[in-house]
Amino acid sequence: MAIAEEQLSIKTLIRAVTDELLASREERLAAGDPAVFEVEELTLEISFVATRSKEAKGGLSSGL
């Protein structure tokens, strides 16, 4: 799942991590590989930086 920067939300991030973990498990099982470790509980520590910007564009042209 590709996450576009402008679409990133907590929900999207959690879904992406879940999808990655499930895909990894499915690949391992399909290959017949044993589990390297078992996880009963997973805690994610996520840091966010919130920014807001307005972009104003203007211009000046002169005919010389």
Closest C-alpha to 9, from 46, 42, 45: 46
Query: For residue 8, what are its two tokens?
Result: 């990133």
The Cα–Cα gap between 58 and 55 comes to: 10
pLDDT for the residue numbered 27: 95
- Ordered DSSP codes for 13-55: HHHHHHHHHHHHHHHHHHHTPPPS---S---------------
Query: What's the pTM?
Result: 0.56
**Model confidence over 6-64: pLDDT tens digits?**
567 888 888 998 999 999 999 999 999 998 888 899 888 888 777 777 776 666 656 54
The Cα–Cα gap between 34 and 20 comes to: 18
